[in-house]
Amino acid sequence: MGRWLAGRVLQALLTLAIATAAIFWLMRAAPGDPLARLAGERQVSAEEVAALRARYGLDRPVSAQFAAFLEGAVRGDLGVSISHHRPVGDLIAERLPASLLLGGTVLLVNFTVGLLLGMRQALRRGRAADTALGMLSLAGYAMPSFWVGLLLAWLVGVEWRLLPAAGMRDPLLPLDAGALERARDVAAHLVLPALTLVIVSIAAPMRHQRAALLEALAQPFVRTARAKGLAARTVVWRHAWRPALFPILTLFGLWLPLFVTGSVFVESVFAWPGIGALAAEAVSARDYPLLMGTALLAAVGVVTGTLVADVAYALLDPRVGET
């Protein structure tokens, strides 16, 4: 198990290194360079552009730039944002909590409510409840997230005035407001963006859980448990549920990045101050260091998610670690 784990971690680091190289290469491969655009927009002299190029290290050979980028990334130094004139690492650290809150809420709902709905579908296979839940979740998946967000912000936020439709905190909240009142304020702002993301993404856990449970229910040991006369509830929860958990673990690992990156579209629509909105801002400002920083954070999220899922898999299924 120890050796297997070490190998797995090494593989994850290799993947991350390739992803880092890919980010760097993508930025280089993209036509144009950020400073040329800057020079075109404002009255900047050639000397000033040259000075800026030197400041951002763009005058050095590509290999040296990559080495510097890699070295900085390992130390947690992601360069300086062109539009904010501040270290990318600081900006990401400021925005991370909002994305953690939004992504965490969505993951929690999807992997509780979503799984329960998927189980219900499997147990009612082919009946009206199964079909209706399947169609509803597909319709949710098929809607553009930003569109759902705009509709909810309009209906719930503006027309019915039930919940705040933008931001994370009420700027008019008195300065002496207590912790409870502040928490309630953030929670009210959280509802619409979280609901939007759940609507467009709950289909995946539902479908996976439905398929996994159907497969587990067809296994011989489930038939044995039934034949022993165990109650249907016991059969599902004690016997069929555990093997049905494995595909869900992989899915959870795939989704973990949502936790750190939030959503580019939904965060933009609701002005939720997370990493996704930061990436969207970086795009419109053509702020490459900032965009690369958020992409790198996303890659770390993906690699960690896969690793966590694999380790959890190995802990639950001892056969994995043995070979």
Partner 1 sequence: MRCSTRAWARRETAGGAAVRRRLGGVWRRPGGRIGLVLLSAVAAAVLLGPLVLPDPLAQPDILGGANLPPSAAHPFGTDPLSRDVLARVVAGGRVSLLVAGLAVLLASTLGTLVGLVAGYAGGRVDAVLMRLVDGVLALPRIFVVLLLLAAWERVPLAALVLVIGATGWLAPSRLVRAEVLRLRSADFVRAAEALGCGPGRVIFRHLLPNVLGPLVVATTLAVGDVILLEAGLSFLGLGIQPPTPSWGGMILEAKDVMVTAPWSSLFPGLAVMLTVVAANLLGDALQHDDAQA
**DSSP 8-state code for residue 238:** I
| Cβ 175 vs Cβ 211: under 8 Å | no
Measured CA to CA, the distance from residue 109 to residue 94 in angstroms comes to 25
> From start to end of 77-147, where are the E strands?
none
Q: Is 286 left (phi over 0), alpha (psi -120 to 50) or beta?
A: left
Q: What track of x and - describes contact with partner 1 for positions 31 through 50 (by CB under 8 A)? A: xx----x-------------
| Cβ 298 vs Cβ 304: under 8 Å | no
Q: Which lies closer to partner 1 via its Cβ, residue 66 or residue 141?
A: 141
Residue that has been written with the tokens 């039934």 in this structure:
226
Q: What track of x and - describes contact with partner 1 for positions 106 through 145 (by CB under 8 A)? A: --------------------------------xx-xxxxx
Q: Which lies closer to partner 1 via its Cβ, residue 209 or residue 306?
A: 306
SS3 255: helix
Binds partner 1 by CB under 8 A, chosen from 9, 158, 183, 218 = 158
Q: Which lies closer to partner 1 via its Cβ, residue 2 or residue 40?
A: 40
205: nearest Cα among 305, 116, 120, 142: 116
Task: Find the length of the chain.
Answer: 323
Binds partner 1 by CB under 8 A, chosen from 23, 88, 91, 92 = 23
The region of 56-64, 75-83, 214-222, 302-310 touching partner 1 under the rule CB under 8 A is: 302-310
| Cβ 239 vs Cβ 225: under 8 Å | yes
CB of 115 to partner 1, least distance (A): 21
281: nearest Cα among 289, 291, 266: 291
DSSP 259-285: HHH--HHHHHHTT--SHHHHHHHHHHT
Q: Which lies closer to partner 1 via its Cβ, residue 15 or residue 219?
A: 15
The two three-digit tokens of residue 76, written as one number: 């947690």
Phi, psi (5° rounding) for residue 271? 50, 40
Amino acid at 274: G
| Cβ 222 vs Cβ 216: under 8 Å | yes
CB of 232 to partner 1, least distance (A): 27
Number of residues that bind partner 1 (CB under 8 A): 51
CB of 19 to partner 1, least distance (A): 4
- Rule CB under 8 A: say whether 218 interacts with partner 1: no
> From start to end of 212-269, where are the E strands?
none
94: nearest Cα among 293, 316, 314, 284: 293
Q: Which lies closer to partner 1 via its Cβ, residue 110 or residue 261?
A: 261
Q: What track of x and - describes contact with partner 1 for positions 260 through 299 (by CB under 8 A)? A: -x--xx--x----------xx--xx-x-x--xx-xx--xx
CB of 34 to partner 1, least distance (A): 9
Binds partner 1 by CB under 8 A, chosen from 9, 22, 231, 315 = 22
> Which residues lie near partner 1 (CB under 8 A)?
14-19, 21-23, 26-27, 29-32, 37, 138-139, 141-147, 150-151, 153-154, 158-159, 257, 261, 264-265, 268, 279-280, 283-284, 286, 288, 291-292, 294-295, 298-299, 302-303, 306
